[in-house]
């Protein structure tokens, strides 16, 4: 658990200055300049698998597209689309960046936990973590879909 | 970025203080600081100030000064009206019958939660009236819900989210014909209405005909943390705050003299400028609604198109999430609010938008722009230019396209047809 996560306060407050900000600068950076989101609908064969989590009732929906190097299972391409709030968009953007920057394999990427994403974002208001930081779940769905397709 | 111009479209949330109000309050911080309960000069000055304020407010709503109780705001006034009612000797105190309260599904939480609290404690039964897709209650349904145990009916004058104005005088008329004793009493939360609508409480010269009415300062260019509850003579309220017996024992605690003076001044100005300001804002409101619907596909107006506050624009933008829109707008200098689950403390979508019978998608994509004195046509032009690319970007980012788009168009068309016929 990161320090910020332990805070019960719904919003982030700077201990020294008492300045309130709703989202950290890193959340804002990813939210206003999202990385790896899928602009155009995918061409046939562009990705190996995809997975979606969430629903309109809870308010956040995430979809991830995956392309994998079959031998090493290294993730070559990882794209997303999200309907949701600031941290929903920021967290999936950060998640894909973590995977792609570090050239992770499926196995390695599955180890990324929501708190790792929260840490990368410099904190997310605690009540938002459960509902909006769920990029790992979307990724798992995409991986399940990948194995289903490849290991028939 | 720091010096970027701001465009404030959230006047239903709170308003800036009117400089004239600030000036009226000024003497009561340093010079006339006395406690109104003291009998020496400083105390008498302060007492005079609050009694003048009481008279000003009473005159504005055609009530008597002793019918005005100063409180710390709209929430407290609502709570006092509801909790205070249970102390009434003719109603809930009769232990053999369970008192009944009627309200609506779209009330402010300051009304809904006290009622739910009483209901949970088994002290009352409650009826929550539903609203139609335009946000209006059904008077026939209301009439049917009245029982001989009904002690209180509370219906907001104008809704804070969708701005829909309820037929308060008609509800009062139904109640007058129904009652054979003093109860049920009729309360209205008029915080949103106070700057735009007629606030006279007494018939037969028009008037709302309510027995209790909530108004606060922070929505009418007055100070925050102050409000009043109008309680008609004969309405006995049990206090919810005990102490020194101020406000005829109904609301103890040293009066907030500067704020009370400010509240009266703000209310006086708001009522004096009400008609002119309403006409000005209706033009800007309708311009924004028309332009946004023209420039952005699948934008639906929430609430009745004409029976709404002059300053309220509540829309649902399909396939774009409310909090994200608010954050992008903020970055462009625009302050607005949303009923999306994501921004509420409880993470629940707006109960008001849900009560219109619309699916979750409408709640998540809801945006509220509420106009005020600072807003001009130029602000409106900036808004209608700024929102469309934001929506386009968020829709591009969304993995789902809400499917029943044909239904949405039909809904929108229908509401326009209805508005013409009414």
Residue of B318, B319, B320, B321 to mutate for A, most A C-beta atoms under 10 A: B321
Residues B44-74: pLDDT tens digits?
Answer: 999 999 999 999 999 999 999 999 999 999 9
Give the pLDDT of residue B133: 95
Taking CB atoms and an 8 Å cutoff, what residues of chain A touch B1?
A: none
CB A58 within 8 Å of CB A128? no
pTM of the model: 0.91
User: How is domain B7-14+274-419 classified at the architecture level of CATH?
Assistant: Alpha-Beta Complex (3.90)
Of A32, A52, A57, the CB nearest to B399: A52
Antiparallel, parallel or unpaired: β B124-129 and B185-189: unpaired
Q: Measured between CA atoms, how close is B225 to chain A, in angstroms?
A: 21
In this predicted structure, the answer to whether residue A7 has a pLDDT above a threshold of 80 is no
Domain ranges of chain B: 7-14+274-419, 19-270
User: Are B345 and A39 inside 8 Å of each other by CB?
Assistant: no
Catalytic residue among B169, B342, B411, B412: B342
| Three-class DSSP labels, chain B | CCCCCCEECECCCCCCCCHHHHHHHCHHHHCCCCCCCCCCHHHHHHHHHHHHHHHHHHHHCCCCHHHEEEECCHHHHHHHHHHHHCCCCCCCCCCCCCEEEEEECCCCHHHHHHHHHHHHCCCEEEEEECECCCCCECHHHHHHHCCCCEEEEECCCECCCCCEECCHHHHHHHHHHHCCCCCCEEEEECCCCCCCCCCCCCCCCCCCCCCEEEEECCCCCCCCCCEEEEECCCCCCCCCECCCCCHHHCECCCCCHHHHHHHHHHHHHHHHHHHHHHHHHHHHHHHHHHHHHHHCCCEEECCCCCCECCCEEEEEECCCCHHHHHHHHHHCCEECECCCHHHCCCCCCCHHHHHCCCCHHHHHCEEEEECCCCCCHHHHHHHHHHHHHHHHHHHHHCCCCCCCHHHHHHHHHHHHHHHHHC
Residues B242-262: pLDDT tens digits?
Answer: 999 999 999 999 999 999 999
CATH assignment of B19-270, among 3.40.50.300, 3.40.50.2300, 3.40.640.10, 3.40.50.1110: 3.40.640.10
- What ipTM was estimated for this complex? 0.88
User: Are B328 and A83 inside 8 Å of each other by CB?
Assistant: no
User: Are A61 and B399 inside 8 Å of each other by CB?
Assistant: yes
Q: Measured between CA atoms, how close is B395 to chain A, in angstroms?
A: 8
Q: Is A58 a catalytic residue?
A: yes
| Mean pLDDT, all residues of chain B | 91
User: Are B397 and A82 inside 8 Å of each other by CB?
Assistant: yes
Residue B364 to residue B270: CA distance in whole angstroms: 33
Same fold, B7-14+274-419 and B19-270: no
Give the pLDDT of residue B180: 80
Residues B34-47: pLDDT tens digits?
Answer: 999 999 999 999 99
Closest Cα partner for B166 from B141, B191, B206, B135?
B135
In this predicted structure, the answer to whether residue B233 has a pLDDT above a threshold of 80 is yes
């Amino acid at each position: 658990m990161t320090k910020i996560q332990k805070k019960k306060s719904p919003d982030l407050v700077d201990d020294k200055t008492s300045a309130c900000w709703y989202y950290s600068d890193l959340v804002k950076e990813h939210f206003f300049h999202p990385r790896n989101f899928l602009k155009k609908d995918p061409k046939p064969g562009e990705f190996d698998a995809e997975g979606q989590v969430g629903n309109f009732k809870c308010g956040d929906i995430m979809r991830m597209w995956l392309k994998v190097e079959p031998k090493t299972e290294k993730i070559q391409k990882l794209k997303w689309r999200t309907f949701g709030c600031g941290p929903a968009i920021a967290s999936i953007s950060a998640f894909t960046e973590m995977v792609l920057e570090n050239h992770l394999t499926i196995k390695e990427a599955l180890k990324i936990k929501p708190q790792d994403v929260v840490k990368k974002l410099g904190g997310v208001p605690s009540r938002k973590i459960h509902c909006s930081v769920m990029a790992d779940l979307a990724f798992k769905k995409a991986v399940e879909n990948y194995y289903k397709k490849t290991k028939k | 970025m720091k010096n970027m111009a701001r465009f404030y479209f959230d006047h239903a949330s709170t308003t800036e203080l009117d400089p004239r109000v600030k000036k009226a309050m000024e003497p009561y911080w340093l010079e006339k600081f006395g406690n109104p309960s003291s009998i020496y000069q400083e105390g008498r000055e302060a007492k005079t100030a609050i009694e003048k304020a009481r008279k000003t407010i009473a005159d504005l709503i055609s009530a008597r000064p002793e019918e005005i109780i100063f409180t710390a705001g709209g929430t407290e006034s609502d709570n006092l009206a509801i909790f205070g009612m249970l102390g009434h000797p003719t109603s809930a105190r009769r232990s053999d019958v369970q008192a009944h309260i009627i309200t609506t599904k779209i009330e402010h939480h300051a009304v809904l939660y006290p009622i739910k609290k009483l209901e949970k404690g088994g002290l009352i039964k409650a009826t929550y009236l539903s609203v139609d897709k335009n946000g209006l209650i059904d008077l026939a349904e209301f009439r049917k819900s009245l029982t001989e145990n009904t002690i209180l009916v509370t219906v907001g004058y104008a809704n804070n989210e969708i701005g829909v104005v309820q037929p308060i005088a008609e509800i009062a008329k139904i109640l007058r014909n129904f009652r054979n004793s003093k109860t049920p009493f009729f309360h209205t939360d008029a915080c949103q209405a106070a700057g735009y609508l007629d606030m006279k409480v007494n018939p037969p010269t028009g008037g709302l005909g309510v027995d209790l009415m909530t108004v606060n300062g922070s929505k009418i260019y007055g100070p925050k943390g102050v409000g009043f509850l109008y309680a008609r003579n004969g309405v006995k309220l049990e206090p919810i705050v005990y102490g020194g017996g101020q406000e005829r024992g109904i609301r103890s605690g040293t009066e907030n003299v500067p704020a009370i003076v400010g509240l009266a001044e703000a209310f006086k100005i708001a009522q004096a400028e009400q008609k002119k300001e309403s006409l000005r804002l209706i033009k800007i409101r309708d311009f924004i609604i028309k332009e946004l619907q023209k420039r952005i596909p699948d934008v639906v107006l929430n609430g009745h198109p004409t029976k709404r506050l002059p300053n309220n624009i509540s829309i649902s933008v399909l396939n774009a999430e409310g909090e994200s829109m608010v954050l992008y707008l903020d970055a462009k200098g625009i302050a607005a609010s949303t009923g999306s689950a994501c921004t509420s403390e409880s993470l629940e979508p707006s109960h008001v938008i849900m009560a219109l019978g619309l699916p979750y998608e409408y709640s998540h994509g809801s945006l509220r722009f509420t106009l005020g004195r600072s807003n001009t046509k130029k602000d409106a032009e900036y808004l209608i230019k700024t929102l469309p690319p934001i929506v386009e970007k968020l829709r591009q980012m969304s993995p789902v396209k809400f499917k029943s788009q044909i239904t949405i168009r039909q809904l929108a068309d229908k509401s326009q047809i209805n508005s013409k016929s009414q």
